[in-house]
Amino acid sequence: MKGVKGSRSVTRAWRVHLTIESRKLGIPSPWIKRVLKEVLQHVDSDIAIAEVCEIHLVVTDDARIRVLNREYRRKDKATDVLSFPQFDPKEISGRSKRKAVAPGPYLGDLVISAETTLQQAKAFGVTKRAELVRLLVHGVLHLCGYDHEKVPAAEAQRMRRRERYIRAKLSL
């Protein structure tokens, strides 16, 4: 099921489950789902587990994401995106010594704060859709085992390059 890294061929029929807890972004759900599916198509070759074909995205507010950030990352502040991967990075990439057994079809969960997305869009001088796309790509890469925080600089740079590559390939 693995494709060629960076290829455009679609080898999975991705299913996106979307929960909108905050409507402050004002971006239609079908647009968000379409973009997220396209991002997932670009990382398809990064995912070695054939059964994985679903993701859940929650668009919430700063208060809710702050609670999650405090509970799961011990950081008592709102953030832009949180990723909750279903698999260990070595399992999802196929680099594990043991074969990963998928407990289900989920890649993981993403949670994005609508309020922080809007604040960052304004601060960065981009549209709210452009900022949401950046966060979707960033979050999905975390679900695929990429990291930029607790890794050597070269690994963080690898993630940033992959982010730029995917954003450049999206048909927005």
pLDDT at 85: 95
- Quick check: 10 pLDDT over 60? no
Separation of alpha carbons 50 and 97, rounded Å = 17
- Quick check: 7 pLDDT over 70? no
Look at residues 14, 55, 39 and name the one whose alpha carbon lies nearest to residue 132.
39
3-state secondary structure of 83: strand
The segment with the largest mean pLDDT, out of 12-16, 95-99, 135-139, is 135-139
- Encode pLDDT of 138-149 as tens digits: 999 999 999 999
Banded model confidence at residue 101, pLDDT cuts 50, 70, 90: low
- Encode pLDDT of 12-48 as tens digits: 899 999 999 999 999 999 999 999 999 999 999 899 8
Tell me the whole-structure pTM to 2 decimals.
0.91
Range with the poorest average pLDDT among 43-47, 100-104, 109-113, 141-145: 100-104
- Quick check: 1 pLDDT over 70? no
- Quick check: 9 pLDDT over 70? no
Which sequence spans correspond to the domains of the chain? 15-169
Q: Per 3-state DSSP, what percentage of the chain is helix, strand, and coil (rounded to 5)?
A: 45, 15, 40
pLDDT at 8: 40
pLDDT at 104: 77
Dihedrals φ, ψ of 7, to 5°?
-75, 160
Q: Token digits for 119?
A: 């604040």
Separation of alpha carbons 103 and 100, rounded Å = 9
15-169, CATH topology level: Collagenase (Catalytic Domain) (3.40.390)
